Amino acid sequence: MTIPLAFAHIGDLHLTGAEADNARDFAAIVAQLNDVSGNEGAGLDFVFVPGDNADNGRPEQYALVRAGLDRLRLPAHVITGDHDMEGGSLDAFYGGLDAPRLPYAVEVRGVRCLFLDMCGPGSGGPDFRLGADQVAWLAAELDRAGTRPCALFMHSYPADLKGEGEAERVADLVHRGPVRLVEMGHTHYNELANDGRTVYAATRSTGQIEEGPVGYAVAAIDGGVTSWRFKELARPWPFVLITAPADRRLACDAGQVVGEDVTLRALVLGPAETVEYRIDDGAWRPMGREDGARCYATTIAWPADARAIAVRATGGGATDTDTIEPATDPNGLPTSRGIGSDADALGAWEARGLLGTQLGPNRNGRQW
Look at residues 224, 308, 235 and name the one whose alpha carbon lies nearest to residue 269: 235
CB 80 within 8 A of CB 120: yes
Residue 349 confidence class, pLDDT cut points 50, 70, 90: very high
Contact residues for 132 (Cβ-Cβ < 8 A; gap 6+): none
Residue 9 near residue 230 (C-beta atoms within 8 A)? no
- 3-state class of 187 per DSSP? coil
pLDDT band at 39 (very low <50, low <70, confident <90, very high): low
Q: Where are the alpha helices (DSSP H) in 73-151?
A: 91-97, 132-145
User: Using 50, 70 and 90 to split pLDDT, how confident is the model at 291?
Assistant: confident
pLDDT at position 1: 65
Q: How confident is the model at residue 361 (pLDDT cuts 50, 70, 90)?
A: confident
Q: What pLDDT does residue 42 have? A: 67
Distances (CA, A) of 110 to 195, 229, 297, 302, 333: 23, 22, 19, 28, 25
Start-to-end Cα distance in the chain = 46
| Range from 15-24, 25-34, 70-79, 330-339 carrying the lowest mean pLDDT | 330-339
Instruction: Give residue-wise pLDDT tens across range 232-249.
Output: 999 999 999 999 999 999
Q: Where in the chain is the domain with CATH 3.60.21.10?
A: 5-235
- Look up residue 247 and give its DSSP letter: B
pLDDT the model gives residue 363: 82
Which part of the chain has CATH 2.60.40?
254-331
Asked if the model's pLDDT at residue 327 lies above 80, the reply is yes
Domain 5-235: which topology? Purple Acid Phosphatase; chain A, domain 2 (3.60.21)
144-181 confidence digits (pLDDT tens) = 999 999 999 999 999 999 999 999 999 999 999 999 99
Peptide bond into 238 cis (omega under 30): yes
pLDDT digits (tens, 9 = 90+) for 56-92: 999 999 999 999 999 999 999 999 999 999 999 999 9
What whole-number distance in Å separates Cα of residue 269 and Cα of residue 276? Answer: 14
What residues contact 2, with CB distance under 8 A and at least 6 apart?
222, 223, 244, 265, 295, 297
- The answer to whether residues 162 and 129 touch, using CB atoms and an 8 Å cutoff, is yes
User: Which of 18-32, 124-138, 350-364 is predicted with the least confidence, judged by mean pLDDT?
Assistant: 350-364
Mean pLDDT of the chain: 95
| Of the candidates 32, 20, 118, 19, the residue with the CA atom closest to the CA atom of residue 73 | 32
What percent of the chain is modeled with pLDDT above 70? 98
CA distance 52 to 85: 9
User: What are the tens digits of pLDDT across the range 165-222?
Assistant: 999 999 999 999 999 999 999 999 999 999 999 999 999 999 999 999 999 999 999 9
Question: Domain 254-331, what architecture?
Answer: Sandwich (2.60)
Confidence of residue 365 (pLDDT cuts 50, 70, 90): confident
Q: Are 171 and 159 a contacting pair, CB within 8 Å?
A: yes
Report CA 221 to chain centroid distance, whole Å. Answer: 10
Average pLDDT value for residue range 21-33: 97
Residue 218 · residue 32 · CB < 8 Å: no
| Predicted confidence band of residue 41 (pLDDT cuts 50, 70, 90) | low
